[in-house]
Amino acid sequence: MVSTIRVRATSSGETTEVQALIQHPMDSGFVKDTKGEIIPPHFIRELTFEHDGKNVFVADWGAAVSKDPYVKFSFKGGKKGDDLKISWVDNKGATDTTTAKIQ
Partner 1 sequence: MTTPHDGFPATRRLILQGAATVALVGLGNVPFGLAAAFAAANDKYPEDAFKAKSEADAIKSLYGKTAEPSDKVKLDAPEIAENGAVVPISVSTTLTEVTSISFLVSENPNALAASYKIPAGTMPSVANRLKMAKTSNVIAIVEAGGKLYSATKEVKVTVGGCGG
Nearer to partner 1, 30 or 79 (CB): 30
Backbone dihedral region for residue 48 (phi beyond 0: left; psi -120 to 50: alpha; all else: beta):
beta
CA atoms within 13 A on the CB side of 96: 14
User: Is 35 near partner 1 (CB under 8 A)?
Assistant: no
User: Is 53 near partner 1 (CB under 8 A)?
Assistant: yes
48/14 Cα distance (integer angstroms): 21
Q: Minimum distance between the CB of residue 101 and partner 1, rounded to whole angstroms?
A: 19
Nearer to partner 1, 38 or 103 (CB): 38
User: Is 65 near partner 1 (CB under 8 A)?
Assistant: yes
User: Is 98 near partner 1 (CB under 8 A)?
Assistant: no
**13 and 20 Cβ atoms separated by less than 8 Å:** no
